Amino acid sequence: MFLTKEEEKALDGEYGPGLQLAMRILVKLGDLFGAERLLPVRSAHVSGISYKTAGDAAIGFLEDLCEMGARASVLATTNPCGFDERLSGLLELPDHIVSAQKKLLALYEHLGLKMTLTCIPYYQFRPERGSHLAWAESSAVVYANSVMGAFTNREGAPSALAAAIAGRTPDYGLHRPENRQPGLLADFSFRPRDEVELWAAGFYVGQVARDAVPLLRGLKGLSDWELKGLGAAMASGGMTAMFTLEGPTEGLEKVEVGREEAASVLEKLSTAEEPDLVFLGCPHCSREELALLVEHLRGREVKRPFWICTSRHIRASCPELVKAIEASGALVVVDTCVVVSWVEKLGVDVVATNSPKAAYYLPGLSGVRVRLANMRECVELACSKGSG
Ligand code: F3S
């Protein structure tokens, strides 16, 4: 790989061992994928913030980096962690978990990362169209590439952190225009009846597209939050890091996406009925979703635990929506989500959610079963008593 003089010096350790380690990670990655150079990035988004998913190995690695004097050199945002500190009375966690999570957060903060603690950092720090980024968190990656026109690969936690420190990423994959061309035509032959059916169809596309960029034909007039959830579903169904809604279709392999394909995904992911907890906000809710939810909740009273997860930034930017939602008895939770937190410790066996991504990960991560239901149905479930 070609390196500039400055990059050579950084790799040789002239600017300290922290930057040297970050450069080593990036150069190794670049060599692996045949990159010819490193590109400067505008921002990095780092995953592996929740102690639940990162574990003790991450703490050791971060301690080493801090000792080596590493610091983020570009805007670096963070994915959700394992709890919302404001809810410590509700989500009572063993002391060792709380202290490990706090330690992880302190280490990331010491490295200069911003405590955004969300999977939707783009509503707070909007990347410019055409800018190069190094983002982990697959749902944010798809959104950045497909909706915002930024350029990022689907980074892992260590490579996103290394990019945050070095301010660079190897030039391969979706950083190169030739790799952003569609490689599969996903022909939507039906009009999804709600977000759950749309996102389940997206999950199916993710499964069949593998690492190709799918061109989704037949989907018109989707709102921002529907696109956000669609990308998240595709990324959890497979390796999708970008989709497109238009472009030439000649020569593309074609797959039909109909109600049956969506139903087959729903059948696999939705395996339960009565929820102990209702959850919206995977990915974290935008303002638009909170406003919709206020409409659904108007005059209603919540009778089961109902978590609406979003970012600190969104919560702080629309206090009137938050107030209206919480007046019903629902909780607007920040910094975490039901997937990366320890809901099993609340005695939860079944979660209702509108997110196929959450439905895909929750059984493995928390041993809970999931009922997929759209936002309106989730509100109905939250406002009904249940038979148990
Ligand atoms: Fe975000 Fe948690 Fe879903 S991090 S994308 S809400 S699994």
Q: What is the pLDDT of residues 294-323, one digit of tens each?
A: 999 999 999 999 999 999 999 999 999 999
Q: What is the pLDDT of residue 37?
A: 98
Q: Is 121 helix (H, G, I), strand (E, B) or coil?
A: helix
Return d(Cα 112, Cα 314) in angstroms, integer.
22
In percent, the amount of the chain with pLDDT more than 70 equals 99
pLDDT tens column, 105-143:
999 999 999 999 999 999 999 999 999 999 999 999 999
pLDDT tens column, 249-271:
999 999 999 999 999 999 999 99
Q: Is 232 a pocket residue for ligand 1 (Cβ < 6 Å)?
A: yes
- Ligand 1 geometric centre to CA of 314 (Å): 15
pLDDT at 88 over 80: no
- Ligand 1 geometric centre to CA of 281 (Å): 7
Task: Give the position, in ligand 1's atom list, of the atom nearest the Cα of 361.
Answer: 7
Return d(Cα 149, Cα 180) in angstroms, integer.
11
Rg of the chain taking only CA atoms, in angstroms? 21
Q: pTM of the predicted model, to two decimals?
A: 0.97
pLDDT tens column, 208-235:
998 899 999 999 899 999 999 999 999 9
pLDDT at 90 over 90: no
93 — pLDDT class (breaks 50, 70, 90): confident
Return d(Cα 102, Cα 29) in angstroms, integer.
30
- Ligand 1 geometric centre to CA of 5 (Å): 40
Closest Cα to atom 6 of ligand 1: 282
Q: Give the mean pLDDT of 360-370.
A: 97
Q: How far is CA 373 from CA 117, 149, 232, 269, 378, in A?
A: 26, 31, 17, 11, 6
Query: Bridge partners of 35?
Result: none
**Going along the chain, which residue ranges are E strands?**
38-40, 43-46, 75-78, 133-135, 168-170, 182-188, 213-217, 253-257, 277-285, 306-310, 331-334, 350-353, 369-372
Which structure tokens are listed for 227?
């696109």
Q: Is 282 a pocket residue for ligand 1 (Cβ < 6 Å)?
A: yes
387 — pLDDT class (breaks 50, 70, 90): low
pLDDT at 355 over 90: yes
Q: What is the pLDDT of residue 92?
A: 80
Q: What is the mean pLDDT of the chain?
A: 96
Q: Is 283 a pocket residue for ligand 1 (Cβ < 6 Å)?
A: yes
Q: What single-letter amino acid sits at 137?
A: E
Closest Cα to atom 2 of ligand 1: 337
41 — pLDDT class (breaks 50, 70, 90): very high
Q: What is the pLDDT of residue 39?
A: 98
Task: Give the position, in ligand 1's atom list, of the atom nearest the Cα of 80.
Answer: 4
Q: How far is CA 237 from CA 139, 196, 207, 361, in A?
A: 11, 14, 5, 11
Return d(Cα 269, Cα 44) in angstroms, integer.
31
Q: Is 206 helix (H, G, I), strand (E, B) or coil?
A: helix
Q: What is the pLDDT of residue 180?
A: 97
pLDDT tens column, 17-29:
999 999 999 999 9
The answer to whether the beta carbons of residues 219 and 191 sit under 8 Å apart is no
pLDDT tens column, 169-206:
999 999 999 999 999 999 998 999 999 999 999 999 99
Which structure tokens are listed for 9?
């010096």
Q: Which residues contact 325 (CB under 8 A, 6 or more apart)?
A: 290, 293, 294, 297, 308, 332
Task: Give the position, in ligand 1's atom list, of the atom nearest the Cα of 120.
Answer: 1
Query: Bridge partners of 182?
Result: 213
